[in-house]
Chains A and B, each alone.
Chain A
């Protein structure tokens, strides 16, 4: 049980710090209004490229693919240090976090060439998984891929696709055999988003912004070399991508715990500072305990990775618990302004905009990449070994459902 850096880790941390000091001075956070604007993307590409040149774009993967050939502990150290700086939006996280791991695991050498390009910031990715009738029940996708010679012709509609409006590539699952049970008739593809037949329609979200999209696929022609994994084995590949997505500390777009505590020292309630009120202290202490637990759970998971073992489905705990906590905490922080908390401007408080963004972002995160209920099913069934509910679709051909 050693929580402090080993000598090598301390050395690496020092290197990272010096590098960030030399290179990170111009960093700024992306505001919701700047999201997906050309200027912001260009700025973030530059930062990504800088990281890639230093090997920091992917600490663990081998140098030949644009990584650093390091380990997960070093990756965590880089993450910790980078988080001390203002945070630009990471347009590459879908690609690096969800799309590339499955390419690394299942891809051909040709497909793996996309890895260094992505790490350099040249390619932005999106995930074409969900459909209007296949969200929580992802294996129910209806988009159809039909083999024609060396190509596949794919038609259908995808939805909730973050970043599709700017993505260069997408990962997609489509049905290749409706005669098989639904999980077994799917195949996974890497899609060039500039192909004819792809159209992207932004979805207006509850915040008024449009990060998600609908994507329509009208008989797009994809070479068989873009298939990832075997035909009808797409579910396994997709699960690999989703597991990567769920092991995340989801504190993005959430004011830090310290800034909320700072706020409680500034706001006045009934003529005293909020933090002097016992109820506020008790509430914040409870949040603090949970934040502390999540950080240390993360450290335990990192230790598992560092020991060369795979993470089980229990890593989903982090997404499950952190989204709910941030939803609650952002709401509570707004209450420290009493009725003024209903007004989102700097006159209420400079942090107000960020708090409201967090409050509106949290419900989306609780649904995306495995809704709370799905994560609890996964923990219940895979980790605790509880029986699944009786299902009406088990063993039946997809076309008969």
Chain B
């Protein structure tokens, strides 16, 4: 066992940190929140040139074919600076869905373009009032807006779609005419599509409402059970998002620690008060524990372990919790300054809230975790070591 990233992966991580601290200033992130919904950050092109998009995409499809561990360390660094780029939607969701479930032809057609940044991808799966624990329910009560796939075309409304204002292609969940779930691939460039920007918790996510009206769509070629495929894609993405969350949480902790060391009240440093110190100690403990679950997720992702659904839920839940705590309490420890637009705390608070809602709420992930754990308890061979030891 060696439960850590290796030297090369740390090299990539440190390199990414240096680059982002130089090129992704918090002022830039702040300005981006107020910019036009269709505007893309100049940081995106620089990230494209660094080749990060293709880190986990196989070489035969235009990627670097390095692997998921390398993608995890980059995700952490992007989260650390709340990078305002469509990286997660394009890579964790769209590219991942195509890598896992696209036909050979679809992979050849889209993956090199995603890896080179020529196309931005996303996944459209959420619908208004259409949700369930089993990831997604595609039956809107009255059926009016639910996306339906009929003989090569989709009709219906998806919202919110992350980075939907910027995306060129999307993997879309839909129901076919028999009422079964399907995953389809669509190009977002036709006039049978309406895009509407959505006022969002984190405006940097460029959320959109996509309304399709007999819009051309292709079934993802290698996808036999779309519900299972969707679960798998969301699980895999949740692990990568968890690294973003852990990265963001750690930065919140660092900012708060720096601030309470500087700031004085009653002639002493704020950080010398136990009420403050203990809050930060708890923040640190939660962050380290969440990091441990994220590593478990990284391992499951990279090794293709059967424990992936458990690891994804564990990584996801603790990452969401630690980022929320660090963002909220980190802001609080900055006092009145933390409540201002010019101090960075709100950038993290908004990103934390957004990530907590993306790919499913904590309630849904808790349910996934307990259901998976109960299922594996019935088969002693499948009980993971950590659970047997707990």
Inter-chain contacts of B269 with A (CB < 8 A): 386-387
Inter-chain contacts of B268 with A (CB < 8 A): 387, 390
- B374 in contact with A3 (CB, 8 Å): no
- B1 in contact with A292 (CB, 8 Å): no
B240 vs chain A, min Cβ distance (A): 14
- Complex partner residue of A261 from B281, B284, B374, CB under 8 angstroms: B374
Q: Does B299 contact A (CB under 8 A)?
A: yes
- A286 in contact with B366 (CB, 8 Å): yes
Inter-chain contacts of A286 with B (CB < 8 A): 317, 366
- The dominant DSSP class at the A interface is helix
A370-387: which have CB < 8 Å to B? 373, 375-377, 379-381, 383-387
Q: Does B103 contact A (CB under 8 A)?
A: no
- A380 in contact with B278 (CB, 8 Å): yes
- Complex partner residue of B288 from A83, A289, A317, CB under 8 angstroms: A317
Q: Does B105 contact A (CB under 8 A)?
A: no
- Complex partner residue of B292 from A256, A297, A373, CB under 8 angstroms: A297
- Provide the bound-state CA to CA distance between A262 and B363, in Å: 22
Which of A127-135, A190-198, A277-285, A357-365 makes up part of the contact surface? A277-285
- Complex partner residue of A302 from B1, B253, B302, B363, CB under 8 angstroms: B1
- Provide the bound-state CA to CA distance between A202 and B363, in Å: 48
Q: Does B377 contact A (CB under 8 A)?
A: yes
Using CB atoms, name the residue of chain B closest to A299.
B3
Q: Does B314 contact A (CB under 8 A)?
A: yes
- Complex partner residue of A281 from B289, B366, B377, CB under 8 angstroms: B366
B1-33: which have CB < 8 Å to A? 1-6, 9
B309-351: which have CB < 8 Å to A? 310, 313-314, 317-318, 321
Q: Does B52 contact A (CB under 8 A)?
A: no
Inter-chain contacts of B365 with A (CB < 8 A): 285
B221 vs chain A, min Cβ distance (A): 31
Q: Does B385 contact A (CB under 8 A)?
A: yes
Interface code B356-390, partner A: CB below 8 Å = 1, 0 otherwise? Answer: 00000001011101110110010000010111111
- Provide the bound-state CA to CA distance between A320 and B292, in Å: 16
Using CB atoms, name the residue of chain B closest to A378.
B281
Number of residues on chain A facing chain B (CB within 8 A): 62
- Complex partner residue of B4 from A1, A289, A297, A387, CB under 8 angstroms: A1
Q: Does A5 contact B (CB under 8 A)?
A: yes
B84 vs chain A, min Cβ distance (A): 29
If A286-B366, A299-B3, A302-B1 touch, whether A379 touches B292 (CB-CB below 8 Å) is: no
Q: Does B94 contact A (CB under 8 A)?
A: no
Interface code B51-71, partner A: CB below 8 Å = 1, 0 otherwise? Answer: 000000000000000000100
Q: Which of B253, B284, B370 has the most CB of A within 10 A?
A: B370
A137 vs chain B, min Cβ distance (A): 14
- A376 in contact with B281 (CB, 8 Å): yes
Q: Which of A's residues lie within 8 Å of B, judged by CB? A: 1-6, 9, 73, 76, 80, 83-84, 249, 251, 256-258, 261-262, 265, 275, 278, 281-282, 284-286, 288-297, 299-300, 302-303, 306-307, 314, 317, 320-321, 373, 375-377, 379-381, 383-390
- A285 in contact with B377 (CB, 8 Å): no
Q: Which of A6, A300, A320 has the most CB of B within 10 A?
A: A300
- A300 in contact with B292 (CB, 8 Å): yes
- A3 in contact with B299 (CB, 8 Å): yes
If A9-B1, A258-B377, A384-B281 touch, whether A1 touches B6 (CB-CB below 8 Å) is: yes
Inter-chain contacts of A6 with B (CB < 8 A): 1
- B387 in contact with A257 (CB, 8 Å): yes
- Provide the bound-state CA to CA distance between A297 and B363, in Å: 24
- B261 in contact with A387 (CB, 8 Å): yes
Q: Does B298 contact A (CB under 8 A)?
A: yes
Q: Which of A6, A299, A321 has the most CB of B within 10 A?
A: A299
- A3 in contact with B289 (CB, 8 Å): no
- A261 in contact with B318 (CB, 8 Å): no
- Provide the bound-state CA to CA distance between A292 and B295, in Å: 11
Inter-chain contacts of A375 with B (CB < 8 A): 281
Inter-chain contacts of A373 with B (CB < 8 A): 274, 278
Interface code B269-308, partner A: CB below 8 Å = 1, 0 otherwise? Answer: 1011110111011101100111111011011001101000
Q: Does B257 contact A (CB under 8 A)?
A: yes
- Supply 16 further A-B pairs (C-beta < 8 A) apart from A281-B367, A295-B389, A314-B288: A84-B388, A258-B377, A286-B366, A288-B373, A288-B390, A296-B295, A296-B296, A297-B292, A299-B3, A317-B288, A373-B274, A373-B278, A377-B278, A387-B269, A387-B272, A389-B274
Inter-chain contacts of A249 with B (CB < 8 A): 389
Inter-chain contacts of A381 with B (CB < 8 A): 277
Inter-chain contacts of A256 with B (CB < 8 A): 390
- B366 in contact with A285 (CB, 8 Å): yes
- Provide the bound-state CA to CA distance between A6 and B314, in Å: 25
- Provide the bound-state CA to CA distance between A397 and B374, in Å: 60
If A281-B366, A288-B369 touch, whether A385 touches B277 (CB-CB below 8 Å) is: no
Inter-chain contacts of B389 with A (CB < 8 A): 80, 83, 249, 251, 295
- Complex partner residue of A258 from B281, B303, B387, CB under 8 angstroms: B387
Inter-chain contacts of A321 with B (CB < 8 A): 285, 289
Q: Does B260 contact A (CB under 8 A)?
A: yes
A175 vs chain B, min Cβ distance (A): 27
A390 vs chain B, min Cβ distance (A): 6
